[in-house]
Amino acid sequence: MAYSLKDKTAIAGIGLTPFSKKSGVSELSLAAQCIVAACEDAGIDPGAVDGMVTYTLDNSEEVDVARAIGANDLTYFSRVHYGGGAAVGTVLQAAMAVATGQAETVVCYRAMNGRSGKRMGQGISGQIINSGLIHYSWYMAYGMLIPGSWIAMIANKYMQEYGVTREDLGRVAISQRNYAQANPRAYGYGKPLSMEEYLASPPIASPLCLYDFCQETDGGCAVIVTSAERARDLRKSPAVIRGISQASTRGQEEMTSFYREELTSLPEMELAGQRAYAMAGLEAKDIDAACLYDAFSSEVIMQLESFGFCGQGEGKDMVLDGALDIDGRLPNNTHGGLLSEAYIHGMNNIAEGVRLVRGDSTSQPAKAVEHVLVSSGVGVPTGALILGRD
Amino acid sequence: MSAPTRIKPPLGPDNAWWWEMAAEGKLGIQRCQGCSRLRHPPRPMCGDCRSIKWEAVEACGRGTICSFTVLTHPQFPGYEYPLIIILVDLEEGTRLTSQLINCDPADVAFGLPVEMVIHTDPDGFNIPVFQLAEAR
Ligand SMILES: [Zn+2]
């Protein structure tokens, strides 16, 4: 029987820098600060860190980060590609490294001056090397340059197929903005959003408008992965990694999987979910809360279907029923998410998943939260993570 | 300084032929010489039979709109806004990403028939785009 990662490892600490539109410091500084904060949260000396995983997009080199934080000798380091699709993948790399003895204390980090520095929303410029360059050339020449344009193409088809309206997307954005009112870290804190304001927001890439887009942010977020056994002896109660998988499915492109027969589902997300459920020995009904990747509002509705919380085309009905709200079936992105807290490429959604399991979210549901599902980027090779209370 | 132009596709062995056909006013599709399947976007190996032998065939240029998005912001130099981007299901069975021209954004809809036309930029660059078939 294949080796299972179930319950072998845990997230023992989470750390964040403040989120802003202009950090005034380098990305390396943000990386070092969020990692030290994560170590502090776990009760681990940064000098114990012996493994690092980040995104290929991250600009801070592992060895530079290691010197900055005074890390231990590193015996494991790797990176995961595909933008926000890397989020859960970094945790998977770390969990495998810990479970196989390659390292004991692995930090996963993503730190970016995503607003004041290179903005993701500015899209591609032709300055890409290798096969990715050829891939994006089919879109660049036509002016399809930003992530929102690629996501909009799928969102429009999906919404037409299932009669999803702008109001349905608005309910997702507003639910998350409501959560942000309790979270002082969040961009949306103190900025409530009404349906009228949502519907009046300027179009960007139809059917998506301003409030369907996430918040370009300066900031960093890190999580510490170690063995579940060791995590139990540390400062905070562990968020045990019960199930985890990466997934990329047939016909996958980076952001532009437009050539599959069906465009109205997310097969890579379905595969990641099936595998994470199988490892954890759980089903959708066992998941109490979620942090579904939300660079764009439409993605949340589609993922409700991908992960089996409802049937195909029924995501909008779940949202209408208030499922995503704090007293709903599946409180989602209770920190505000990428839409209303910060866009740290999904790493901050993993941190919120840990808080929900610990019971210390700024919007902690009244019900017991045993299992939380966290997903990586939508429209790219991705991943799913199920965290459990110890 | 001359007027800004659209971002030109970088050309390599896997895609240059398609743009060379466009320069000649044709819409190309890659056909596997192992199993005769058509594929797009082009790639060097057939995912069905793993042949690396292929040839270019000329599409008839007719298709229907599979999906679309109207881009209004941000506006990049070298493109005209609002910019209608469409996915076209070609009669041959492949799908491609392109632009819809000569169309009010309010008139674009799923399933509409479209036909390919070659658009020539001021700098002479040719790019296959589409217009509504009724607009003939
Ligand atoms: Zn073939």
pLDDT in tens, B18-27: 999 999 999 9
* Alpha-helical segments (H) within A163-207: 166-180, 195-199
Tokens in use for A215?
């918040």
pLDDT over 70 percentage in chain A: 98
Distance in Å, CA A251 to ligand 1 centroid: 15
pLDDT for B42: 94
Is the predicted pLDDT of residue A133 greater than 90, yes or no? no
Residue A127: how many CB atoms within 10 A of its CB? 7
Is the predicted pLDDT of residue A131 greater than 90, yes or no? no
Q: Is the CB of B7 inside 8 Å of chain A's CB atoms?
A: yes
When pLDDT is cut at 50, 70 and 90, the band that residue A122 belongs to is: confident
Angle at A82 between CA A293 and CA A260, to 5 degrees: 80
Pick B7's closest partner by Cβ from A122, A141, A153.
A141
- Best probe of the B interface among A120, A122, A142, by most B CBs < 10 A, is A142
B8 occurs within a structural domain: no
Is the predicted pLDDT of residue A323 greater than 60, yes or no? yes
pLDDT over 70 percentage in chain B: 98
Question: Which pTM value belongs to this model?
Answer: 0.95
B7 occurs within a structural domain: no
Tokens in use for A389?
């209370």
Cβ contacts of B69 on chain A, cutoff 8 Å: 149, 152-153, 156, 205-208
Is the predicted pLDDT of residue A322 greater than 80, yes or no? yes
Q: Hey, is A12 helix, strand or coil?
A: strand
Q: Which of B85, B92, B76 is nearest to B29 (CA)?
A: B92
Is the predicted pLDDT of residue B134 greater than 80, yes or no? no
Angle at A262 between CA A256 and CA A265, to 5 degrees: 75
pLDDT for B4: 87
Cross-chain Cβ contact A203/B70 below 8 Å: yes
Is the predicted pLDDT of residue B135 greater than 80, yes or no? no
Sign (positive/negative) of CA torsion A232, A234, A237, A242? Answer: negative
Q: pLDDT tens digit string along A367-387?
A: 999 999 999 999 999 999 999
Pick B97's closest partner by Cβ from A133, A138, A146.
A138
Chain B nearest-CA distance from A273, in A, is: 26
Return d(Cα A122, Cα A192) in angstroms, integer. Answer: 26
Determine the average pLDDT of the residues in A232-237.
97
Pick A202's closest partner by Cβ from B6, B66, B73.
B73
For chain A positions 252-281, those within 8 Å of chain B (CB to CB) are 256, 258-259, 263
pLDDT for A121: 74
Cross-chain Cβ contact A149/B10 below 8 Å: no
Residue-averaged pLDDT of chain A = 96
B5 occurs within a structural domain: no
pLDDT for B3: 81
Q: Work out how many domains chain A is built from and give that number.
A: 1
Has the ipTM of the complex gone over 0.90? yes
The whole domain housing A364 covers 9-116+215-389
Is the predicted pLDDT of residue A206 greater than 80, yes or no? yes
Chain A nearest-CA distance from B134, in A, is: 23
The whole domain housing B28 covers 16-135
A173 occurs within a structural domain: no
Determine the average pLDDT of the residues in A268-293.
98
Distance in Å, CA B56 to ligand 1 centroid: 13
Q: Could you tell me which chain B residue has the CA closest to the CA of A252?
A: B41
Q: pLDDT tens digit string along A19-39?
A: 999 999 999 999 999 999 999
Is the predicted pLDDT of residue A112 greater than 90, yes or no? yes
Cβ contacts of B15 on chain A, cutoff 8 Å: 134, 137-138
B4 occurs within a structural domain: no
pLDDT for B12: 86
Is the predicted pLDDT of residue A126 greater than 70, yes or no? no
CB-based contacts of B1: which residues, under 8 Å, 6+ apart? none
When pLDDT is cut at 50, 70 and 90, the band that residue B13 belongs to is: confident
Determine the average pLDDT of the residues in A354-360.
98
pLDDT for B1: 56
Q: Any idea what the CATH number is for the domain that residue A277 is in?
A: 3.40.47.10
Return d(Cα A282, Cα A215) in angstroms, integer. Answer: 33
Q: Could you tell me which chain A residue has the CA closest to the CA of B101?
A: A142
CB B133 within 8 A of CB B119: no
A343 is catalytic: yes
Q: Work out how many domains chain B is built from and give that number.
A: 1
Residue A184: how many CB atoms within 10 A of its CB? 10
Q: pLDDT tens digit string along B74-122?
A: 999 999 999 999 999 999 999 999 999 999 999 999 999 999 999 999 9
Is the predicted pLDDT of residue A18 greater than 90, yes or no? yes
pLDDT for A1: 56
Q: Which of A271, A273, A294 is nearest to A215 (CA)?
A: A294
Residue A48: how many CB atoms within 10 A of its CB? 14
Work out the burial of residue A197: count CB atoms within 10 Å of its CB; fewer than 13 is exposed, 13-18 middle, 19 or more buried. Answer: middle
pLDDT for A125: 62
Return d(Cα A179, Cα A335) in angstroms, integer. Answer: 6
Pairing of strands A51-55, A106-113: parallel
Task: Tell me the count of A-B CB pairs closer than 8 A.
Answer: 102
Determine the average pLDDT of the residues in B36-50.
95
Q: Any idea what the CATH number is for the domain that residue B90 is in?
A: 2.40.50.840
Determine the average pLDDT of the residues in A84-95.
97
Cβ contacts of A157 on chain B, cutoff 8 Å: 66-67, 87, 110
* Upper half-sphere CA count for residue A17 (Cβ side, 13 Å): 28
Cross-chain Cβ contact A140/B40 below 8 Å: no
